[in-house]
């Protein structure tokens, strides 16, 4: 959410930013906010004046009564009552106007960084750098569920009976590999100096609206019926929510946390062969990282965060590339975002396995995450990034470490989490 003072003083800049995000239908909101804000401040100014005058008159009533001037005192009481009625009306008006301003401010997009490429959607995202040599083996790479099935590692049919489409049972070595990747990612981030955390897996609505846009919320979140609780779509939500309504000491920043959680998503609109299997699902597990820092440090942390994901994937022999998200592909709260994509030998292309985002002070402003600095209080900056999100990451892992006989290599980094095994071998013939 933008600073209302910034919008008030820079309406043209806010409108230009809306145009860069190809959301012209929101242009009218800027003028509406300015008009409503002016009315709200006028009502507040009159209310403040009435409060001051009422206090003054209240003191006069006591003095008049002490002097025996009962008639004047009664007249003054009547005036106080009239002003009280007017004040109550103004306070209600002020609240209504504030709610109208706040509702519009929540959907006006954050100001994107000047380095963000301008484009309408993800088709115009810009490739930055490739890490590792993408290889297509001289044998056919099966679909990822076929690889898992040959290893007796997945049961989709039973999952459909139990929970429907978009769920799975991981079994045996594949289930162990899944847990190994999560454990490795946890230790990888701890070794980077991050504090490990297991957060709540449900959050209240005020946290949901504090960490994400309404469009994201509608597309992602599952609500618990009869409760003010939502299942998290990513642990970033509850991790950032940890700091809601806090005033933090500047000298204690940055807060760097890495978290494990299950994640639950509606995944509206999923379709096509690449959406089947375990690519786009309603439930998965994830290792996440978040940073709460000073504004001047957020871009430095942004570059650190996405580089950690690249480093982790390369340590598992998976080629990756980074992709700069264009203006039209950025969620409304984001200032800048980079996706990490892994190489798929079967598809002969890269696909997304993680996303790193700098949200500036947007989440902090919504959640009131403040910092007590040398020159007064200010809003912190927040960032988040995927460390690793199996089982989607397992697709890249299995394809890039697959042998011609259907076995799967275990890179050195993972072997301690796999009982020392260097290979997973098929459990049955084709």
| Same domain? 70 vs 140 | no
Q: How far is CA 45 from CA 54, 128, 134, in A?
A: 14, 52, 65
pLDDT tens string, the chain, 430 residues long: the values are: 899 999 999 999 999 999 999 999 999 999 999 999 999 999 998 888 887 777 777 777 767 677 777 777 667 777 777 777 888 888 899 999 999 999 999 999 999 999 999 999 999 999 999 999 999 999 999 999 999 999 999 999 999 999 988 899 999 999 999 999 999 999 999 999 999 999 999 999 999 999 987 777 878 899 999 999 999 999 999 999 999 999 999 999 999 999 999 999 987 554 444 456 787 889 999 999 999 999 999 999 999 999 999 999 999 999 999 999 999 999 999 999 999 999 999 999 999 999 999 999 999 999 999 999 998 999 999 999 999 998 889 999 999 999 999 999 999 999 999 999 999 999 755 4
Token readout for 416 is 């301690």
* Separation CA 147–CA 154 (nearest Å): 9
| Same domain? 195 vs 94 | no
Per the DSSP assignment, residues forming a β-bridge with 194 are none
Residue with tokens 């597990």: 285
Residue 310, exposed/middle/buried by CB under 10 A (0-12, 13-18, 19+)? Answer: buried
| Same domain? 225 vs 360 | yes
User: Domain with 346 in it: what CATH number?
Assistant: 3.30.930.10
Domain assignment of residue 112, yes or no: no
Contact criterion met (CB below 8 Å) for 223 and 265: no
* Separation CA 379–CA 253 (nearest Å): 12
Per the DSSP assignment, residues forming a β-bridge with 354 are 340
**118 DSSP assignment:** P
Domain with 318 in it: 122-424
* Separation CA 94–CA 288 (nearest Å): 41
| Same domain? 139 vs 83 | no
| Same domain? 213 vs 256 | yes
∠ CA 55-60-66, nearest 5°, is 140
| Same domain? 158 vs 270 | yes
* Separation CA 112–CA 125 (nearest Å): 15
| Same domain? 38 vs 187 | no
| Same domain? 159 vs 281 | yes
| Same domain? 159 vs 12 | no
The total number of structural domains in the chain stands at 2
Domain assignment of residue 111, yes or no: no
**348 DSSP assignment:** T
143: enclosing H helix or E strand: none
Residue 258, exposed/middle/buried by CB under 10 A (0-12, 13-18, 19+)? Answer: buried
| Same domain? 271 vs 138 | yes
Domain assignment of residue 42, yes or no: yes
* Separation CA 309–CA 306 (nearest Å): 5
| Same domain? 75 vs 129 | no
Token readout for 70 is 């009962």
* Separation CA 409–CA 401 (nearest Å): 5
| Same domain? 264 vs 397 | yes
Per the DSSP assignment, residues forming a β-bridge with 58 are none
């Amino acid at each position: 959410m933008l600073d209302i003072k910034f919008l008030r003083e820079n309406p043209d800049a806010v409108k230009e930013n809306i145009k860069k995000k190809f959301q012209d239908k929101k242009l009218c909101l800027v003028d509406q906010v300015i008009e409503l804000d002016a009315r709200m401040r006028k009502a507040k100014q009159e209310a403040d004046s009435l409060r001051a005058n009422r206090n003054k008159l209240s003191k006069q009533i006591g003095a008049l009564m002490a002097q025996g001037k009962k008639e004047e005192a009664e007249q003054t009481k009547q005036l106080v009552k009239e002003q009280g009625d007017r004040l109550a009306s103004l306070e209600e008006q002020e609240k209504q106007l504030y709610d109208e301003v706040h509702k519009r401010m929540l959907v006006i997009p954050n100001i994107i960084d000047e380095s963000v490429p301008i484009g309408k959607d993800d088709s115009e995202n810009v490739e930055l750098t490739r890490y590792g040599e993408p290889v297509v083996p001289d044998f056919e790479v099966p679909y990822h569920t076929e690889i898992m099935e040959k290893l007796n590692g997945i049961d989709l049919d039973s999952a459909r009976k139990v929970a429907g489409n978009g769920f799975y049972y991981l079994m045996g070595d594949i289930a162990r590999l899944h847990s190994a990747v999560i454990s490795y990612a946890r230790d990888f981030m701890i070794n980077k100096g991050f504090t490990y955390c297991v957060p709540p897996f449900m959050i209240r609505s005020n946290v949901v609206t504090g960490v994400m846009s309404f469009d994201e919320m509608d597309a992602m979140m599952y609500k618990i019926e009869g409760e003010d609780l939502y299942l998290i779509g990513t642990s970033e939500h509850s991790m950032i929510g940890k700091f809601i309504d806090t005033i933090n000491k500047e000298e204690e920043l940055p807060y760097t946390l890495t978290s494990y959680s299950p994640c639950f998503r509606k995944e509206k609109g999923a379709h096509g062969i690449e959406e089947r299997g375990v690519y786009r699902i309603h439930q998965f597990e994830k290792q996440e990282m978040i940073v709460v820092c000073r504004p001047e440090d957020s871009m430095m942390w942004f570059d650190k965060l996405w580089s950690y994901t690249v480093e982790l994937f390369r340590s598992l022999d998976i080629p990756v590339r980074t992709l700069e998200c264009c203006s039209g592909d950025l969620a409304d709260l984001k200032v800048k975002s980079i996706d990490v994509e892994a190489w798929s030998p079967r598809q002969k292309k890269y696909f997304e396995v993680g996303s790193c985002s700098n949200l500036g002070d947007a989440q902090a402003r919504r959640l009131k995450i403040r910092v007590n600095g040398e020159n007064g209080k200010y809003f912190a900056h927040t960032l988040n990034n995927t460390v690793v999100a199996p089982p989607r990451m397992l697709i890249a892992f299995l394809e890039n470490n697959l042998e011609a006989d259907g076995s799967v290599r275990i890179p050195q980094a993972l072997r301690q989490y796999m009982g020392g095994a260097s290979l997973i071998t098929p459990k049955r013939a084709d």
